[in-house]
Structure 1
Amino acid sequence: MLKKTSTGSWMPAWVPESTFTVSILLLICSIVQSATGGYDGSMLNGLNILPSYTDYFRLNEATTGLNTSSVFIGGFLGPLVSGVVADRLGRRPAIFWGSCITIVGIILQTAAQDIAMFVVARIILGFGSQVSGIAGGVYLAETFPSRWRAWGVGLLNDFFYVGALMAAGITLGTGQWQSTWAWRAPSLFQAVFSGLCILTLPFIPESPRWLVHQGYYEEARLSVAQTNANGNLSDPIVIAIFKEIVDTLKWEKENGSAMSPMEIFRTPSARKRLLIGMSPGPFSCIAGNIIASYYFGSELNSAGITDTNDQLKASVVLNAWCLICSLIGTQLLAKWGRKPTAMLSQILLSACLFIIGGLSKVYAANPKDASNSLVYGNVAMMFLFQGFYSIAWTPLLYLYPPEIMNYSIRANGVAFSSFVLNAFALVFTFIMPIGLGNIGWKMYMINASWDLIILGLIAYFWVETKGKTLEEIDAIFEGEKHSSVPDVEKIRRGQKVIDTEVLEEQLEAELKIH
């Protein structure tokens, strides 16, 4: 059964009564958001291998970098408005408009007649995907129950590899075509993901945190019930979560928090949250993943795999492997924690890059006499590197920032985090082909050294958020929780018992004041 639900915006919702069904729909929304980004990266990776694409645009190293990295120009601009849009219009409308803009960019990219049109289209595409992606990350973090948040939000980037796998398979199939549709067809298919996202939005509720902040208390409580207790408004967990949200947002308002982009810099606590929350973006770029995500062909060339068809096949296998690793990593984040999983990943990444650099150096010294074991060993290490990256950084990119930031800075803080990520990605996607061409294996050594520094920063600065609601994380930064309600997971496990009648009376009194 579907229940018509007010959402505080122009977008109504018809939400299923079953929490399990709602969670599946939320996962679909999450999955299609991440698949767009994954598809784009893998598609360009494949197109950079295809002669029908490189010859059509007459690409050199600089224009290859421009065509590829231009999506990050849009990604650089999107966060400038996405936080404000998500706060003012609502999380779901922001996802909707971002998806529409993404589709416009994809259509223009497919129809591109020259480099200028292709670049402009990818800027629009990057802008739209950032607006929808940032709103989606904030929305899912605020809507999923804390016990499922690692999976619900982690999948927002895990399915990057589903999109990547599909793009690799499609470009492998169309790569044999003797026309520009060899690259136009994969480009056009990218619009499917944004379309699926738009179709899902009418059947999921608005973020309860956004609704409380806007003063839609009944709608917010219903949203909590729909995502936690099959729509049962009297369930103790629903009452506890709703009370926790009301108390915490009330505290933020009383302490002068404003829904402004400048709020992310206003207090020492906000600045600390921002620095920690935004760190996964630049850390993941510096890790070295940019090389394999967008320039896997160049990486394989350095290892001695030069046949176009072999490179496309390797890209398909790589994305399937990374998907498996990212799902394993999401489980580790849920059971083991965010910080230890990230540290393990960094250690493994550094080791892989040092080995890849050494093997590439040996191959570069005498490529004609290089043994098969050397070539295959290098390729194997590249696969391991991507898998180890996927274990932590793939799910963490969208999971950790909205967890760390409180409501008043969440949308703008996540937007700023994405802004920094795209700024780094823009630079790295442009310089990587130049760096690989000029210094070859030394790029891997440089990356490995950076990764060791990142390991130390994670160990010293990061905090653990596993098993906490977004409101309970406040105690880590402010020294106290801003609600008298016991931690929700303790209530769920029966370790704490609450008096629902007392909480109902307290809520009634608080909401009357508002």
Structure 2
Amino acid sequence: MLTRIPTGTWLPAYVPQRTTVLATILLLCSMVQSATVGYDGSCLNGLNILPSYANYFNLNAATTGLNTASIFIGGILANLVGGMLTDHYGRRLSMLYFSLLSLLGIVLQAAAQNTAMFTVARVVLGFGTGVNGIAAGVYLNEAFPSRWRTWGVGTLNNFYYIGALIAAGVTLGTSSWPNSTWAWRLPSLLQGVFSIICIVLLPFIPESPRWLVHRGLNDAARTTVAACNADGDASDPRAMAVYAEIVDTLTWEREVGKTLSPLEIFKGKTTRRRLMIGASPGVITSSTGNIIASYYLGDELTSAGVTSSLAQLKANVVLNVWCLACAVAGTQLLVRWGRKPSALACQFALIVLLYIIGGLSKVYADHTAAGVTSSNALVYGNVAAIFLFQGAYSVCYTPILNLYPPEIMNFSMRANGFAFMNLLLNCCALVLVYVMPIGIANIGWKMYMVNASWDWLFLIFIAVFWVETKGRTLEEIDEIFEDRHPHVSDVEDKAGHPVDVSVGEVKEVPEEGKVE
């Protein structure tokens, strides 16, 4: 059964009555950016292995880097305006408009006639997916059922590997067309399936209740909170508690002068501290070393001793299955362990594994230079270390990327702060995706050692500055940073499960007046 609820925009919403069904649709609709980016990374991995792709564009190390990294140019441009667009149009309309733009970029990429057209298409695609990523990440944090938020939002970025797995399978299949441009055009075109899924599902999800309260649409917000948390029952104690916290917090933000201006993220010591912590995953997740396997797995496997194109394409498929399994397990780990302990363990494991990969790659390179055939044990050991590295990354950094930054930032800075985090991510990724093939070509195994060495700085940063947010609602996280308490605290206990809140404990909140 579907119920129409107000959204504050021209796009209506006919939402399922059951919260579990709605939560599923919320997640599937929001996955568009993570699945598209995952597909893109794995697709380019496969294309960079395919001779038909390299020969068509006459690629060298520099143009390979440009073709691959150009998506991040669009991402950088998107993150300069994405937060403002998400706040202005709302979360749903932003996902709609920029899913359509992503489709345009995908069609252009599939139809590319030369490197310039391919690059422009990927800039357009990067812009569309960039704004989509901001809107989807903020939206799911704000709309997903409170009691399942950690699991749901953590799962969002796991769709990266679903997209990557599909792309790996597609490029493996089209590798049997060595003389056809469709070997790379078809994988490029199929990337649009996730945007289409998002567009189809958008009419069946509500707008963010926090965005509705900001617009002064309190009745709509109350209805939306009930739909997202209590099967549409507005008198449910949990729904009343969540709604009261939202209105109380946004009212407080208005009273202390907070606005949705992009400059708001830099105002005040507390806000800057939240921005520093919340934006740090953008730098960390793009700079730990995963860029190599995400976009240049072929080069990495070649340095490990796996030189067959078919074997590399098969490894790409298996690697994405492995990473998806690790990411799913890691989402549950964030629920149980929390964000900070998981990140510390993950970062330390990545450092150790990068040193191992670098050391084994050096031995293989020395053997090759001396004309000595490397043993299977050396090759398999290096491949195993690569898989363990990507698995360790997936356990924590894949689910945490869309979960931790939005919950660290309050409503006034959430969209623009999340955009700033993504801006840093895209800037780092742009540089590293372009530089990595050049670095591997020139210094080989030493690139892993350099990467591992700067990763120590990230470990220290996490240990010193990150704060734990496990078991708190978005409004309750304010207690960590602000000298105030939410209207109703402890909606969730420390294990992330709901506690009883009687109706009498929840004060009714006035609806009149636009919260700005």
Short-chain TM bin: over 0.9
CA deviation vs aligned residue, 1:371-421 (integer Å, no higher than 9, x gap): 111111101100000000001111111111101000000000000110110
Equivalent position of 2:50 in the other structure: 50
CA deviation vs aligned residue, 1:171-225 (integer Å, no higher than 9, x gap): 0000111210000000000000100011111001110000000000011011100
The residue identity in structure 1 corresponding to 2:272 is R
Distance 1:365 1:191, change over 3 A: same
Equivalent position of 1:94 in the other structure: 94
Q: Distance in 2 between matches of 1:182 and 1:361?
A: 34
Measured after TM superposition, the shift of residue 490 of structure 1 is 4.6
Contact 1:240/1:488, CA 8 A, preserved across alignment? yes
Distance 1:344 1:369, change over 3 A: same
Measured after TM superposition, the shift of residue 513 of structure 1 is 6.2
Measured after TM superposition, the shift of residue 486 of structure 1 is 2.8
Equivalent residues in 2 for 1:194-343, closer than 5 Å: 194-343=195-344
Equivalent position of 2:409 in the other structure: 405
CA deviation vs aligned residue, 1:262-313 (integer Å, no higher than 9, x gap): 0000111111111100101110111100000000000011011111100000
Distance 1:497 1:97, change over 3 A: closer
Measured after TM superposition, the shift of residue 512 of structure 1 is 4.4
Q: Which runs of 5+ in 2 are unaligned?
A: none
Q: Distance in 2 between matches of 1:101 and 1:357?
A: 40
Aligned partner of 1:428 among 429, 432, 440? 432
The residue identity in structure 2 corresponding to 1:313 is K
The residue identity in structure 2 corresponding to 1:270 is T
Equivalent position of 1:10 in the other structure: 10
Equivalent position of 2:65 in the other structure: 65
Tell whether 2:472 aligns with 1:468: yes
Q: Distance in 2 between matches of 1:293 and 1:502?
A: 50
Measured after TM superposition, the shift of residue 323 of structure 1 is 0.3
Q: Distance in 2 between matches of 1:493 and 1:92?
A: 28
Contact 2:31/2:136, CA 8 A, preserved across alignment? no
CA deviation vs aligned residue, 1:234-260 (integer Å, no higher than 9, x gap): 001111111110010000000010111
Equivalent position of 1:36 in the other structure: 36
Q: Distance in 2 between matches of 1:33 and 1:374?
A: 38
Measured after TM superposition, the shift of residue 502 of structure 1 is 6.4
Contact 2:73/2:126, CA 8 A, preserved across alignment? yes
Q: Distance in 2 between matches of 1:36 and 1:493?
A: 32
The residue identity in structure 1 corresponding to 2:100 is C
The residue identity in structure 2 corresponding to 1:124 is V
Q: Distance in 2 between matches of 1:513 and 1:118?
A: 49
Contact 2:237/2:500, CA 8 A, preserved across alignment? no
Equivalent position of 1:78 in the other structure: 78
Measured after TM superposition, the shift of residue 495 of structure 1 is 5.8
Measured after TM superposition, the shift of residue 23 of structure 1 is 0.5
Equivalent position of 2:142 in the other structure: 142
Q: Distance in 1 between matches of 2:270 and 2:73?
A: 30
Distance 1:78 1:379, change over 3 A: same
Distance 1:334 1:493, change over 3 A: closer
Distance 1:493 1:383, change over 3 A: closer
The residue identity in structure 2 corresponding to 1:419 is L
Q: Which runs of 5+ in 1 are unaligned?
A: none
Contact 1:65/1:433, CA 8 A, preserved across alignment? yes
Measured after TM superposition, the shift of residue 30 of structure 1 is 2.9
Equivalent position of 2:360 in the other structure: 359
The residue identity in structure 1 corresponding to 2:382 is N
SS in 2 for 1:78: helix
Contact 1:251/1:482, CA 8 A, preserved across alignment? no
Distance 1:512 1:186, change over 3 A: closer
Q: Distance in 2 between matches of 1:163 and 1:432?
A: 23
Q: Distance in 2 between matches of 1:38 and 1:159?
A: 7
Tell whether 2:416 aligns with 1:415: no
SS in 2 for 1:14: strand
Task: Name the TM-score, length of structure 1 as normaliser.
Answer: 0.97
Distance 1:271 1:372, change over 3 A: same
Contact 2:75/2:126, CA 8 A, preserved across alignment? yes
Measured after TM superposition, the shift of residue 446 of structure 1 is 1.1
Contact 1:5/1:205, CA 8 A, preserved across alignment? yes
Equivalent position of 2:441 in the other structure: 437
Runs of 4+ in 1 over 4 A off after TM superposition: 490-497
Q: Distance in 1 between matches of 2:148 and 2:498?
A: 18
Distance 1:201 1:495, change over 3 A: closer
SS in 2 for 1:15: strand
SS in 2 for 1:280: helix
SS in 1 for 2:31: helix
CA deviation vs aligned residue, 1:445-476 (integer Å, no higher than 9, x gap): 11111222211110110011111110000010
Q: Distance in 2 between matches of 1:329 and 1:465?
A: 16
Aligned partner of 1:487 among 487, 490, 493? 490
CA deviation vs aligned residue, 1:16-73 (integer Å, no higher than 9, x gap): 1100110110121133331111000000000000010000000000000000000000
Q: Distance in 1 between matches of 2:417 and 2:482?
A: 17
The residue identity in structure 2 corresponding to 1:88 is H
The residue identity in structure 2 corresponding to 1:46 is G
Equivalent position of 1:373 in the other structure: 377
Query: Which has the larger displacement, 303-312 or 27-36?
Result: 27-36
Contact 1:30/1:153, CA 8 A, preserved across alignment? no
The residue identity in structure 2 corresponding to 1:393 is Y
Query: Which has the larger displacement, 108-117 or 155-164?
Result: 155-164
Tell whether 2:468 aligns with 1:453: no
Query: Which has the larger displacement, 244-253 or 489-498?
Result: 489-498
